[in-house]
Structure 1
């Protein structure tokens, strides 16, 4: 038995790290996870149609084409490699994660790939399609009524079972190599290389763990680009308030209606100092944006995509009004077929008291005129017709 008997969470380490059988299992597990990346082509960069005369191009990085259908596939792969190489994930012991859905789907996939059990701890309100996908990969769902309780429940399950609590909210920004190595930021810049504005003026992300925004912002600074990073935050989330007040201890009382993003506390993986701008986006605006996206490109997407798209469109309107040219990139995080009973259901909207009409009208007006309703058009000659 190794002299290091404890993991970071205090679980007993019941495997000898020098045992040839364990090292053979570890090598095979790492190989399988890396082989998944080697099999996967890069995700597409889609253009959102805007009038060319505006001089502003808008793109969506389509993360829904990953094997598990979301942006979280990248994170799950990184977290599994991180946990394996740190000696935290062990043969026959469960991996437990606190998640609002998409991360759990992706982690369930990787757990099955390397042959370890997986338990997803999530709010009871998680969409039925995400639950189905998690169970499809042979994992088990453990539900909590209060979204704020997922952390404690996941840690308790890990302690009870001798498993490993993955803790994406702490380790997301550490597990990803933000300097390059085909991360999402490097991929975006490579795909923009032949576009008319290859260095985007803005990249818009949304925050669940905060790991994606940290990767994007760090990469931009490391490569010495002038690109700015904006984080769009939904209702019932405290990232915006924590960023604006500088208070890392800020909390909110209920969970986000936009699955996958928004948190009731400032997560350890959220790096406020790397973010250039934040926007608070009404949930009704996010739903209006995903419906506008379907009309524009024929693709359904989840609410996190709508939150980012609303902010990206607002930035586009500012650039047009000020006569600035350039490109803006946001993320298509996951497919809308996971949320047909939510963001695409008028019954659900009514039950939630959400009226998307005014926000849909704002988007329609912007795309028709180039002007964000209620916003000054800027200096003379800076309008969309120039």
Structure 2
């Protein structure tokens, strides 16, 4: 016995969630991407480095002033396309500053409320930037508190926890699609050494290093990735020991990098080498590079640059030519009252003079001789 034919009046399309706001939001994010030309790849000259070429990918020129502009864009897209962000959704983030600045910018672009959960020690310049974009800052006493407080605020507001420390490595398409790794290699194509020997990247979420490391492997390139970590951070110890449960109770003094725990986005298998950089060396390198570029760069850029100098010194000792690339993560103007303030350095017991002498000598002569 056959099925009973359906009457035409019985056929109706199912009701679906309206996606008008989602379509508009995606258009706004795409518009921001189109308006933002790719960041410059700088090639400063250092007399002592002989046949080595040094490149700096200047992420400070994004509309929100840092590398985190890329991440914030990806996190918003990730949340929208997964159906977790809609019209009126409150966005919440755990951040040490720069990511929250960029997310506040995109929240305002989309007309969404934004709350940043951050340590009280976050630089005032970053707090003011978040507030200037209409975001609200919720302060905690220690970095380890940000995760739970952010998740609770998202639950209490019925909002969405962007969770950069978990989602950074998955929100960005590491195969390409205009990610930072693809951009670097595209910009290097016409250089004397178009495939760099090393890319150096410090770890905050671990997401950028994961993207770069995966892209290198996906494109079958000989480039190696060095991840630089700071004094007070769990990442380096986890990489060396293989124990992803290690923690660090002392807060990082280099904003934007170093974490009290091993973040879910940290991907040690995509890394070729890690290096721990003393805080005084990070800040000294930021001072030296700021002088050489005639504008200030931040402490995490100093971490990157110091690690690059160590690798360059090893290459010079082996009489090797080639290229090294690292990132200018953000502007040093955000740290005028900390890393570039002599009283702050003294109060924190940080003496940058010996490291500064070492770095200056190396850039001018090629001799890396730490002061004793």
Q: What TM-score range do you get, normalising by the shorter chain?
A: over 0.9
**In 1, Cα distance between equivalents of 2:364 and 2:80:** 51
Q: Provide runs of 4+ in structure 1 moved above 6 Å.
A: none
Among candidates 317, 336, 361, match of residue 365 of structure 1 = 361
Among candidates 52, 61, 72, match of residue 76 of structure 1 = 72
Among candidates 204, 210, 220, match of residue 206 of structure 2 = 210
1:91 alignment counterpart:
87
1:227 alignment counterpart:
223
1:254 alignment counterpart:
250
Structure 1 residue 19: deviation in Å? 3.0
Aligned partner of residue 48 in structure 1, secondary structure:
coil
Alignment of structure 1 residues 329-340 onto 2, 5 Å: 329-340=325-336
RMSD over aligned CA atoms reads 1.4
**In 1, Cα distance between equivalents of 2:343 and 2:42:** 30
* TM-score, normalization by structure 1: 0.91
1:164 alignment counterpart:
160
Matched, 1:317 2:313: yes
Among candidates 178, 183, 186, match of residue 182 of structure 1 = 178
> Which range is displaced more, 76-85 or 363-372?
363-372
Q: Which ranges of structure 2 fall in alignment gaps of 5 or more residues?
A: 1-13
1:382 alignment counterpart:
none
Is the contact between residue 206 and residue 233 of structure 1 (CA under 8 Å) also seen in structure 2? yes
Query: How many aligned residue pairs are there?
Result: 358
**Partner deviation per Cα, 1:55-94 (whole Å, 9 max, x = no partner):** 1011110000001000000000000000000011122121
1:18 alignment counterpart:
16
1:108 alignment counterpart:
104
Aligned partner of residue 246 in structure 2, secondary structure:
coil
Is the contact between residue 43 and residue 56 of structure 2 (CA under 8 Å) also seen in structure 1? yes
**In 2, Cα distance between equivalents of 1:109 and 1:53:** 40
Structure 1 residue 371: deviation in Å? 1.7
**Partner deviation per Cα, 1:187-238 (whole Å, 9 max, x = no partner):** 1111111111110000000111000000001101111110000000011101
Is the contact between residue 289 and residue 310 of structure 1 (CA under 8 Å) also seen in structure 2? yes
2:127 alignment counterpart:
131
Structure 1 residue 355: deviation in Å? 0.5
Among candidates 294, 297, 300, match of residue 293 of structure 2 = 297
**Partner deviation per Cα, 1:2-60 (whole Å, 9 max, x = no partner):** xxxxxxxxxxxxxx99233xx10011011111111111100001113223871101111
**In 1, Cα distance between equivalents of 2:290 and 2:146:** 33
**In 1, Cα distance between equivalents of 2:100 and 2:213:** 25
Structure 1 residue 311: deviation in Å? 0.2
* TM-score, normalization by structure 2: 0.94
Among candidates 21, 24, 27, match of residue 28 of structure 1 = 24
Structure 1 residue 295: deviation in Å? 1.7
Among candidates 52, 69, 84, match of residue 56 of structure 1 = 52
Is the contact between residue 48 and residue 366 of structure 2 (CA under 8 Å) also seen in structure 1? no
Which entry has the higher C-alpha Rg, 1 or 2? Answer: 2
Is the contact between residue 239 and residue 263 of structure 1 (CA under 8 Å) also seen in structure 2? yes
Among candidates 267, 270, 274, match of residue 271 of structure 1 = 267
